[in-house]
Structure 1
Amino acid sequence: MINQYYHEEYPQNLTYNDIVFKEIGLEDRSIIVRYLNQDNFMISDISFGNLFIWRLARRIRFAIISDCLVIETTYSGKTPFIFFPIGTGDKLSCLRLLKKYYNSLGFPLEFHSLEKHNLEILMNVFDEKNIESKMNRDRSDYIYLTQNLIDLAGRKYHKKKNHLNRFFEEYEGFSFEEIGDSNLVELQDTWNLWSRDSNDDGLVNESNGIKSVFENYNALHFRGGLLRFNNQIIAFSFGEVISDNLCIIHIEKANILYRGAYQAINQQLLQHCFNQIKYANREEDLGIEGLRKAKLSYNPDIILEKYEAIVK
């Protein structure tokens, strides 16, 4: 059966009736990371850390089909969508099985966060005239040369460097600490205090995801850090290494009473935890004007376009 995803051998001659999706959990990290390591990708959506953080906000499941990892997401009241199959298995077979599977459920085969080359594959497999697609700018990822965000050198980073230097001067004596057993409980307490008055659904979902990370921090293999001033935590951030060339920064939070704390944790985290990684993916702007302006101001090396597609 296809739901025997922990087996090294996968059955041949599968039909769409054999497909079984499983709710994602921490125990699935090793198998998901194994398939992710077989593929080259730069999008943030399919990293295990991203899936784990947001699994409390929507239904996230996975299946192994034709020796490919397939991740499915369903928002409340919406039809499910998937990401492009992942791994070195038979992707063409996987795609054809998926179309039959979702059609049998009365749903279209719908994809989100497609990189352009995978959209082109879909158009070849199912014929371009049968594909409805669009680029979703709000979901495009911002990818930076890590060293640029550490050094902030040159005229295009002049204002950023000034803000950072002002933070260093105003909060002289601040310290950076990697997140670990010595400060994790204190960080949890700090975040509970910072997030206690939030009533926005999106922020509540994010807060719950952050709390879940802290509860399982060591098992997630994240790298993160915090800034401390006068013995108080004033900012924190964490992410994960995807490959020798890519890290993804999932969360960045700061106490806005400390001017420049966001700029400082951005630079300090990369300098201390990810300085050997070529690219840093700092995820999307979600169409939020202020967030888009801030991300653009750091001069991304790549704005990675992501597409949505429905197979008619």
Structure 2
Amino acid sequence: MLFNSISLKDREVFEKYVKDMENSSYNFTNMFMWAGNDNVTYAVTNDCLVLRYKFGKNPASVSYPVGQGDKQKAIFEIYKYFESSNMQMKFKAMTPDMVAELEGMFPGKFDFKFDRDNSDYVYLVQELIELKGKKFHSKKNHLNQFVSNYNYSYEHYTKELADECKRAFSSWMNEKSDPDELTLARAATFKLIDNFDQLPVKGCVVRVDGKIAACSIGEQITPDMVLIHVEFANPEYKGIFNFINQQFLKNEWSQFKYVNREEDMGLPGLRRAKESYRPVRLVEKYDAILKPGVKL
């Protein structure tokens, strides 16, 4: 089974197999961003798409096969790949439907575990635009403080802003981020920015006193859902995250029902921030690990 590096030319391959999926772990733009150093690669087998994830020293894992092909045959090919590599067979980013399908084909052979850290947060677009009621009171206050205290402007993102956005990202992130995490995040964000015009995305920037103070980029992934790929801002401006969150949805995505703001990666601060916006549900993701000593 041959896994290939992900490049822009592979977008058509993903679009053939991945259609109207809420799960951000199968989205082409997302995988393209994070595919540096072959952290994410892909293969097509039995007319199914399979992704391979390998970050740092973590063991390799794969996605559940998607597409109209023979998934059972594809899974046997995946099994042979893991066996030949002397690795434990592990699927990641599985939806509940995928879990049920795999268990139906191979009953009792896999252990399943809910992956809370990598499940996507889903919100109602109109709730995040309007920020009505007691549950959003503090968010609305922070937004109003930003509007009252700063000389700001909102702009649609264009490729001419790439260098300015990259400089801003680096200056805001350098001091407080874990070096390894920052290296990955910078590479992924810069890759998205550099290839903006060749991806199905839209973006915005917010300026304060003429200087870029925040940036957000996202795309439509289903008929009623958008996915936010990146959102970064200068934390010195109080309320700026509340402002760009609301304004990006209001100006670019107000016709959609849901917004997927991806996972929290198990980071306590990020989890608190995402939960504070009151998600309506999670796109649940599961791991499946072939039980020790079990053969397919």
* TM-score, with length taken from structure 1: 0.87
1:179 to 157, 161, 164: 157
In the alignment, the residues of structure 2 paired with residue 64 and residue 110 of structure 1 have an alpha-carbon distance, to the nearest angstrom, of 18
Per the TM alignment, residue 97 of structure 1 is displaced from its structure 2 partner at its CA by 2.4
Mapping 1:141-160, distance limit 5 Å = 141-160=120-139
Residues 57 and 164 of structure 1, relative CA distance in 2, 3 Å threshold: farther
In the alignment, the residues of structure 2 paired with residue 57 and residue 150 of structure 1 have an alpha-carbon distance, to the nearest angstrom, of 38
One-letter code of the match for 2:62? I
2:5 to 23, 47, 51: 23
One-letter code of the match for 2:120? D
Q: Give SS of 2:159's match.
A: coil
Task: Give yes or no for contact 1:135–1:305 (8 Å, CA) kept in 2.
Answer: yes
Q: Give SS of 1:272's match.
A: helix
In the alignment, the residues of structure 1 paired with residue 174 and residue 264 of structure 2 have an alpha-carbon distance, to the nearest angstrom, of 24
Q: Which runs of 5+ in 2 are unaligned?
A: 292-296
Q: Which residue of 2 aligns with 1:103?
A: 83
Task: Give yes or no for contact 1:57–1:205 (8 Å, CA) kept in 2.
Answer: no
Q: Which residue of 1 aligns with 2:52?
A: 72
One-letter code of the match for 2:77? L
In the alignment, the residues of structure 1 paired with residue 57 and residue 143 of structure 2 have an alpha-carbon distance, to the nearest angstrom, of 44
Q: Which residue of 2 aligns with 1:115?
A: 95
Mapping 1:157-168, distance limit 5 Å = 157-168=136-147
Per the TM alignment, residue 108 of structure 1 is displaced from its structure 2 partner at its CA by 2.7
Q: Which residue of 2 aligns with 1:201?
A: 180
Q: Which residue of 2 aligns with 1:282?
A: 261
One-letter code of the match for 1:264? F
1:258 to 214, 221, 237: 237
Residues 228 and 206 of structure 1, relative CA distance in 2, 3 Å threshold: same
Q: Which residue of 1 aligns with 2:41?
A: 61
Task: Give yes or no for contact 2:22–2:222 (8 Å, CA) kept in 1.
Answer: no
In the alignment, the residues of structure 1 paired with residue 159 and residue 218 of structure 2 have an alpha-carbon distance, to the nearest angstrom, of 17
One-letter code of the match for 1:193? S
Task: Give yes or no for contact 1:68–1:87 (8 Å, CA) kept in 2.
Answer: yes
Per the TM alignment, residue 304 of structure 1 is displaced from its structure 2 partner at its CA by 2.5
Q: Which residue of 1 aligns with 2:199?
A: 220
1:268 to 225, 247, 262: 247
In the alignment, the residues of structure 2 paired with residue 77 and residue 192 of structure 1 have an alpha-carbon distance, to the nearest angstrom, of 25
In the alignment, the residues of structure 1 paired with residue 183 and residue 81 of structure 2 have an alpha-carbon distance, to the nearest angstrom, of 34
In the alignment, the residues of structure 1 paired with residue 219 and residue 25 of structure 2 have an alpha-carbon distance, to the nearest angstrom, of 13
* TM-score, with length taken from structure 2: 0.92
> 1:204-248 CA deviation, whole Å, 9 max, x = no partner?
110111111222111122211110111011111111211211211
Q: Which residue of 2 aligns with 1:14?
A: none
Q: Which residue of 2 aligns with 1:304?
A: 283
In the alignment, the residues of structure 2 paired with residue 144 and residue 152 of structure 1 have an alpha-carbon distance, to the nearest angstrom, of 12
Per the TM alignment, residue 150 of structure 1 is displaced from its structure 2 partner at its CA by 0.9
Q: Which residue of 1 aligns with 2:294?
A: none
> 1:66-101 CA deviation, whole Å, 9 max, x = no partner?
111111112233432111112222222222222233
Per the TM alignment, residue 196 of structure 1 is displaced from its structure 2 partner at its CA by 5.0
Q: Which residue of 2 aligns with 1:15?
A: none
> 1:260-282 CA deviation, whole Å, 9 max, x = no partner?
01111111111112222221111
One-letter code of the match for 2:85? L
Per the TM alignment, residue 105 of structure 1 is displaced from its structure 2 partner at its CA by 2.6
Task: Determine what percentage of the aligned residue pairs are the same residue.
Answer: 35
Task: Give yes or no for contact 2:169–2:232 (8 Å, CA) kept in 1.
Answer: no
2:166 to 162, 182, 188: 188
Per the TM alignment, residue 199 of structure 1 is displaced from its structure 2 partner at its CA by 5.7
